[in-house]
Structure 1
Amino acid sequence: MPVVFRHRNFRFFFYSNEGNPRESLHIHVQGDGAEAKFWVRPVCLAHSDGFDARTLRELAAVIETKADQIERTWNDYFA
């Protein structure tokens, strides 16, 4: 489970086995006992379990600013 980066108490990562065929570029986020999945281009919430709306907006904004890093890490890992 490669961790792409951490922000505050949140871990942004993807799973090593992202399906067959592999799903489109996305990132998982865990923190405070909650987890969410976001599509990256464009940033869009796929699902969430436990995060409130304010936190989801914050996480989406972080993903937006780190989208290039997420995509580079994804491509390097799955290449």
Structure 2
Amino acid sequence: MPTVFRYKGVRFHFFSNEGNPREPVHIHASCANGEAKFWLDPNVHVASSAGFDRRTLSELLLVVEGRRDEIVRAWNEYFG
């Protein structure tokens, strides 16, 4: 599971088997308190979540939006 970055104890990562061309670019966020999946196209939005409260999920969404280019670059480098 390649880690792209960490933010306030939340790990943002991909699963190694997700490079399927049919699945759009996305990132997972996980920590002891919850997990979420964010789609990046056509705009950043929550695909699924469990355990994060609304405020935290909103904060994580802003983080993903702000680091979208970095995530896309890491996806393309990893999955080529």
TM-score range, shorter chain: over 0.9
TM-score normalised by length of structure 1:
0.92
Segment of structure 1 superposing worse, 30-39 or 45-54: 30-39
Alignment-derived partner of residue 31 in structure 2: 31
Deviation above 4 Å: which 4+ runs of structure 1? 19-22
% identical equivalent positions? 56
How far is 1:18 from its partner?
A: 1.2
Distance in 2 of aligned mates of 1:32 and 1:59 = 15
Alignment-derived partner of residue 50 in structure 1: 51
Alignment-derived partner of residue 18 in structure 1: 18
For structure 2, the 5+ residue unaligned runs are none
RMSD (Å) for aligned C-alpha atoms: 1.3
Q: Map of 1:60-79 to 2, 5 A cutoff?
A: 60-79=61-80
SS at match of 1:75: helix
How far is 1:33 from its partner?
A: 2.7
> 1:20/1:76 Cα in 2 relative to 1: closer, same or farther (>3 Å)?
closer
> 1:64/1:20 Cα in 2 relative to 1: closer, same or farther (>3 Å)?
closer
TM-score normalised by length of structure 2:
0.91
Q: Which amino acid aligns with 2:9?
A: N
